[in-house]
Amino acid sequence: MTLARNIFLLLHVLGFIGILGALLSQIPKAEKRILGGVLHSALLSLISGLALVGIRTSLHASDAATWDAPDHTKVGIKLIFLVVILVLGYKNTKKPAVSTKIWATMIGLALLNLVIAMTL
């Protein structure tokens, strides 16, 4: 079970890197776009994050001394941020250009997600 957790954790981190990388690749461009890679990476993060919560719950149930229960508040906040990123991405993917505010909001939410993951 620990191996599965480590694989899903790697996928979750790769998803985050994909979101941030695809958004930050638009910095030098005057007209920002939301690339499809943002959505694919966000979906990867969503699926792997849900799998991580399930695996962590299972590990806690089998060995509570070693594994803490997942922090559902932290998971809920991260889920909300990721859903907002997905909604903004789906609404603006087909547009030839998006406002800098939408683009910056998505970057901000991704970074806030990282801060929450590291601190709480």
The pLDDT, as a whole number, for residue 2 is 86
Q: What is the 3-state secondary structure (H, E, C) of 97-108?
A: CECHHHHHHHHH
Kindly report the pTM of this predicted structure: 0.91
What are 49-107's pLDDT values in tens digits? 999 999 999 999 998 888 899 999 999 999 999 999 999 999 999 999 999 999 999 99
Domains in the chain, number: 1
Ramachandran sector of residue 70 (left: φ over 0; alpha: ψ -120 to 50; beta: rest)? beta
Q: Which two tokens stand for residue 11?
A: 């996928």
The long-range contacts involving 88-92, CB below 8 angstroms and separated by at least 24 positions, are 88/34, 89/34, 89/38, 89/39, 89/42, 90/39, 92/34
92-106: b or e for each residue (b if 16 or more CB lie within 10 Å)?
Answer: beeeeebeeebbeeb
Residues spanned by the domain of 112: 2-119
What are 17-62's pLDDT values in tens digits? 999 999 999 999 999 999 999 999 999 999 999 999 999 999 999 9
